[in-house]
Amino acid sequence: MSEIETVALLPGDMLAICMTALVSFALGMIATILFMMARSGGSPSDLEDELLKDGNPETSHRPHETAKDLSEPAPPETWEKNSNWWKT
């Protein structure tokens, strides 16, 4: 054996080393993805907090409409056609 050749690897050993490296890389990628998902998904969005705090004061203090108010149809606008236009 020559002095330059310090590690002698058989072709079967190279296959095992490559497969171990590939599996280690895949598991590392999955662990990284799960870590990033856990880190970013835990905190609520700032936009949601702003929307909850900035409630529109006009709509938040108005009483809710009753069913009686909903049964009355709104008056038609001047640009709207009659709802039975196709019958005439």
Domain ranges of the chain: 13-39
| pLDDT tens-digit series, residues 47-59 | 777 777 766 655 5
pLDDT at 3: 61
Asked if pLDDT for residue 17 goes beyond 90, the answer is yes
52: closest CA among 64, 44, 40?
Answer: 44
pLDDT at 73: 73
pLDDT at 66: 56
**pTM: predicted TM-score of the whole model, two decimal places:** 0.41
CA count, 13 A, side-chain hemisphere, 77: 2
Give the C-alpha separation, 88 to 84, whole Å: 7
